[in-house]
Chains A and B, each alone.
Chain A
């Protein structure tokens, strides 16, 4: 019996257009991701950097930064902690790979089911986020490759700008993904938003 595909936390979310009509200013997608939390062991900074380079072709990024290698992105989340993310392949694949690569250098926790990523793109994406996000997302202060954790609408959110469209990937706890999406739709309604 082969393992079934997991149910996405937003599988039941209403797709289609929400809010003002006349050309959606915003687009929302739910990219399927594997997400792995990596936690540095004391004194293994250099060894972990080398191991991450060897396994994924990236250096552990510093505070507020991200690094993208061959299909894998590392996002700094806490001192000595990163999230590794990659498009979903098979169950636990990224966690298994990371655990093998980082033996003795870092603890690894699979968060693929525990975190849900919502991608928001469109020229008005910053304006919509400003309805709940306290961060300064202006080009001069943020930008592609930057990431930060911050509460939005009472929900902890990892905000990661992936390109200059701008596109933001918003990663939240999976059990709060539904209320977060509802907030996002409401915030975007004056401009109009398409949920794919």
Chain B
């Protein structure tokens, strides 16, 4: 509880706010303004995790998103979140963190034996080892790999928090609120543009937070931005992707810094931001140097140690060595010395530099022309080995508990690269910089402009230019900018110190420089191949600190410059994003909208069992207490239709009003049969083909007037049919004057079917004589039903006398109740989709299972419907030999030889052991009890009467079935026309 590494003054922590937290069960204390990492360091915790493959001890390596090592599990129970970077986790009271990837205690990890197996665990280990024998995979390898692999553990419980999506628009989007980003936002905002300023940190300022002299400008600027009505400042918001059309994806951590979200607040918010102009001010990430033991806890990026000292007022070590290849890194030594750390030495491969001279004048020990050749210690650093540059041997050791390293800085070009910006090599900074791009502007360190003053100038210039490009030409007033000392970030070219021992280029994935060379020797010489073979830069840090170093090692092996080898392609996500945030609110019942007919409440009252049909909920059947099982309900409903009368909600069918002087011509072209000859007040069954000759959809179409038709589609194809019609009106026949209106939702409809249907309809409908002669099969007329406007159709899908009543949807409940009342004396029963299916299978009507995108009109026995004259969609290609082959599977009826043996849709039809087709639909018959079905069978018509086998290997069934005509029930349609 002592925070013995905390400085007495300075930094951006609030010492008045003490926050208790725990790590691996031990209680510690930190302050508001801390991250978990800074608080751990303040308490002297150095060892925070075990590495992925070798289980080597690891400590805190960075102070930001680039952290490869310090991944912990945060919180517990359902809120447990693995792989959280301690360097960006904001401290809160009660935070509980656990180290991960260890067996036993963190200090003694049983799996560290993997380190001894290292010679066999090199690059491509998984590819090489687990290849054979194949039978070992499921039994041996996979369980072992699953146990050993991966980092943290997911909670395995439903996430108690919710996440939401959000959309935003702006004129100028600025990503990053360091000095360049603040200046850009200030310039663009002053010009009058709508500005959004995104910062992943909870504090704005970036490197300004490391310099007390800049605090005045930082706070003044933030206040000025906050006062501008057009400027939105979004801290804790990380831009993870740059997409076409200047669309930026970002995640806002709304409540991650709290123990749990406040009531109704989301945990995180997933932003999609559409910007006119984008200024990227994403800064730079310091890179490591590969040398043996560069992963030992106590080895830290120099800039991170400086940040812990200046921003968090934490001394990361008592005795430190700085290993740097450029002048800018020397400020870390100064910062640590100010914090009370003893600087044992500065190790620099260069022979001389301005910073070196200043350091010597200030009393530091500088060893020019030297490098770190190794580290000494167990789970924490105890010493640093130093040798002469190029000597190749491990040199003398200096005691130290902190080794600060800097191999230079990599501009954070992730987002720029995702925007398609070419990257160009800069020989001075030895880094890739963004080239010219129409989609984004980069400013400050992310394009190699370092130093407070220079980056501020750069940011302001780009902010102004962006505002101008977005149409805010008003000469923006000059904005106040900070001054700062220049910093020289040009490094000596040193990627790797070759000496005996593991020199890591990727700490998170345990990839060494030797692994990269092995990949090269084995032929994986392309950067993308080497990456995948070694897993280099594939961790949550995406190679931010070591990616370029690995590329440089590969370049050296290839004997080519790094510029030629390049970097693996940058893709979203630039930093980890939680699945919950991606799913947003579209989880559980909000996964997709549920579509309900206007009779939904009526079905609910009748106790319907629901089934999904696309987005729709439809009643499957209406169970009664007296029904033994679901089949009993279905058969009871079907019996009612066959013997008395039933009523079924058919509102989900697609309905399209087709109108215009060319409506009849149009329908003749989109349907395989003719509609121009249809009489007014009559309906006709229509078959629609795709252009390739396969059946697309079917339904009845009614002519309401010379130029007015009412088209119905199947439930499933309502949307696609509408688009199909619209496409052909736009592309093929733009001269036709036809309008289309989807009226599916305006009209509800119910089918009344059965021998007593006419009696029920006559009792409900007014204004029409429903006698058979006056209102024959396929007649249609407007009427009133139970006092409301309605339309009556005499159409049947069940094989019985049937009518459909359609009415404006708001009246459906009223009519439904009237129909049930009128039908009560006749024993009416509501029937669901299951009975509907049973009835149509008995009758031999095809439906979705037969119109499956593989069948032709001829296959379905509907070949006669195709008109002989005139153009229609699918006419020509339906004549292709492959579609007219007489041996194609053809629609047949099927009946289980043993009425008690079930047949199933999806079973294969075997004739003499040969696969000759499949069962498309199956049910139990109520007319002739037993299992029946429809199927597609080669030479189907010729095989009627034969006994064949329905094989279902999944269920282990082979059921003898008899091939029968699909139209066995009332083949003359006497009942329908009665």
B residues neighboring A (CB under 8 Å): 164-169, 194, 263-266, 272, 274, 585-586, 589-590, 592-598, 601, 615-616, 651, 657, 659-661, 708, 737, 739-748, 786-789, 808-814
Residues of B within 8 A of A176 (CB): 593, 595, 615
Q: Report the minimal beta-carbon distance from A155 to chain B, rounded to whole angstroms.
A: 5
20 contacts between A and B (CB under 8 A): A4-B788, A4-B811, A6-B809, A6-B810, A7-B813, A7-B814, A9-B598, A39-B739, A107-B659, A112-B746, A113-B811, A114-B744, A114-B746, A130-B166, A130-B168, A136-B169, A175-B651, A175-B745, A187-B164, A190-B266
Known contacts A3-B789, A173-B745, then 11 further A-B pairs from the complex at CB < 8 Å, ordered by chain A residue = A1-B786, A1-B787, A19-B264, A20-B264, A41-B661, A41-B737, A112-B746, A134-B274, A153-B593, A175-B744, A189-B264
Partner of B590, one of A3, A91, A178, A183: A183
Taking a contact as CB atoms closer than 8 A, the residue among A4, A114, A138, A190 that contacts B787 in the complex is: A4
A39-B659 contact, Cβ under 8 Å, with A153-B593, A190-B265: yes
Cβ-defined contact, A12 with B601, below 8 A: yes
Residues of A within 8 A of B814 (CB): 4, 7
In the complex, the chain A residue whose C-beta lies closest to that of B808 is A113
Contact status of A107 and B741, CB under 8 A, knowing A176-B593, A178-B594: yes
Given A4-B788, A140-B194, A179 contacting B594 (CB threshold 8 A):
yes
Which listed residue (B590, B651, B745) contacts A186, Cβ 8 A?
A: B590
Q: How far is it, in angstroms, between the C-alpha of A136 and the C-alpha of B167 when the chains are bound?
A: 9
Tell whether A180 is near chain B: CB-to-CB under 8 Å: yes
Asked if residues A175 and B787 are in contact (CB atoms below 8 Å), the reply is no
Q: What residues of chain A lie closer than 8 Å to B263, measured between beta carbons?
A: 20
A15 within 8 A of B: no
Chain B residues near A9: list those with CB within 8 A. 598, 809-810
Q: How many residues of A contact B (CB 8 A)?
A: 53
- Chain A residues with Cβ under 8 A from B274's Cβ? 134, 136
Chain A residues within an 8 Å CB radius of B168? 130
- A14 close to chain B: CB less than 8 A: no
CB nearest neighbor in A for B707: A107
Tell me whether A55 is interfacial, beta carbon within 8 Å. no
* Closest Cβ neighbor of A183 among chain B residues: B590
Contact A110 B660 (CB under 8 A): no
A4, A20, A81, most chain B CB atoms within 10 A: A4
CA distance A110 to B589 in the complex (A): 31
Question: In residues 28-85 of chain A, which contact B (Cβ within 8 Å)?
Answer: 37, 39-42, 80-81
Q: B744: which A residues are within 8 A, CB to CB? A: 114, 173, 175
Q: Which chain B residue shows the least CB distance to A186?
A: B585
Is there an interface contact between B593 and A7, defined as CB atoms closer than 8 Å? no
- B596 and A113 contact, CB distance less than 8 A: no
Return the 9 tightest CB-CB contacts between A and B, nearest first: A6-B810, A114-B746, A114-B745, A39-B739, A179-B593, A136-B169, A107-B659, A109-B741, A42-B737
Complex interface: chain A residues within 8 A of B788 (CB): 3-4, 91
Question: Of B264, B596, B616, B745, which one neighbours A190 at CB under 8 angstroms?
Answer: B264
Roughly how many angstroms separate A1 CA and B812 CA in the complex, as a whole number? 17
Q: Is the CB of B194 within 8 A of A138?
A: yes
Within 8 A of B (CB), among A118-177: 130-134, 136, 138, 140-141, 153-155, 173-176
Q: Which of B594, B597, B657, B809 contacts A109 (CB 8 A)?
A: B657
Contacts A175-B745, A183-B590, A190-B265 given: A7-B596 contact, CB under 8 Å?
A: no
Closest A residue by C-beta to B652: A175
**A6, A81, A111, A140 — which one has the most chain B CB atoms within 10 A of its CB?**
A6
Residue of B nearest to A155 (CB): B593
Binding site for B on A (CB under 8 A): 1-4, 6-9, 12, 19-20, 37, 39-42, 80-81, 91-92, 107, 109-115, 130-134, 136, 138, 140-141, 153-155, 173-176, 178-180, 182-183, 186-187, 189-190
Chain A, residue nearest B592 (CB):
A154
Most buried by A among B263, B264, B708, B814: B264
Closest residue of chain B to A107 (Cβ to Cβ) is B659
- Cα A136 to Cα B274 in complex, Å, equals 9
Nearest B residue to A178 by beta-carbon distance? B596
Q: How far is the CB of B333 from chain A (nearest CB, A)?
A: 48
Assess whether B741 is in contact with A41, with CB atoms less than 8 Å apart. no
Known: A41-B737, A174-B598, A183-B585. Contact between A154 and B593, CB under 8 A? yes
With A4-B787, A37-B741, A182-B590 known as contacts, the answer to whether A138 contacts B265 (CB < 8 A) is: no
Known: A7-B810, A20-B263. A2 touches B167 (CB 8 A): no
| B contact residues around A113 at 8 Å (CB) | 598, 745-748, 808-811
Across-interface contacts of B811 in A (CB, < 8 A): 3-4, 6-7, 113
Please measure, in the bound complex, the distance between the C-alpha atom of A86 and the C-alpha atom of B5, giving whole angstroms.
Answer: 72
Contacts of A107 in B (CB 8 A): 657, 659-660, 708, 739, 741
Among B590, B737, B741, B744, which residue has the most Cβ atoms of chain A within 10 A?
B741
A68 → B minimal CB distance (Å): 23
Bound Cα distance A174, B808 (Å): 11
Closest to B593 in A: A179
* Min CB–CB distance A67 → chain B (angstroms): 21
Q: Which chain B residues border A187 with CB–CB below 8 Å?
A: 164, 585
Contact of A110 (CB < 8 Å), options: B264, B786, B808? B808
B593 contacts A134, C-beta separation under 8 Å = no
Task: Write out the residue numbers on chain A whose beta carbons fall within 8 Å of the beta carbon of B810.
Answer: 6-9, 113
CA distance A112 to B272 in the complex (A): 34
A134 in contact with B164 given A41-B737, A175-B596, A176-B593 (CB within 8 Å): no
Closest to B809 in A: A113
Distance in angstroms between the alpha carbons of A114 and B810 in the assembled complex: 9
Known: A107-B657, A113-B746. A131 touches B585 (CB 8 A): yes
The CA of A45 and the CA of B814, in the complex, are separated in Å by: 40
Q: How far is the CA of A110 from the CA of B810 in the complex (A)?
A: 13
CB of B658, distance to nearest CB on chain A (Å): 9
CB distance from B229 to the nearest CB of A (A): 11
Give chain B nearest CB distance to A43 CB in angstroms.
Answer: 8
B contact residues around A138 at 8 Å (CB):
169, 194
A186–B589 alpha-carbon span in the complex (Å): 12
Q: How far is it, in angstroms, between the C-alpha of A155 and the C-alpha of B597 when the chains are bound? A: 16
Chain A residues with Cβ under 8 A from B601's Cβ?
12
- A189–B264 Cα gap in the complex (Å)? 6
- Docked Cα-Cα span, A187 to B265, in Å, equals 10
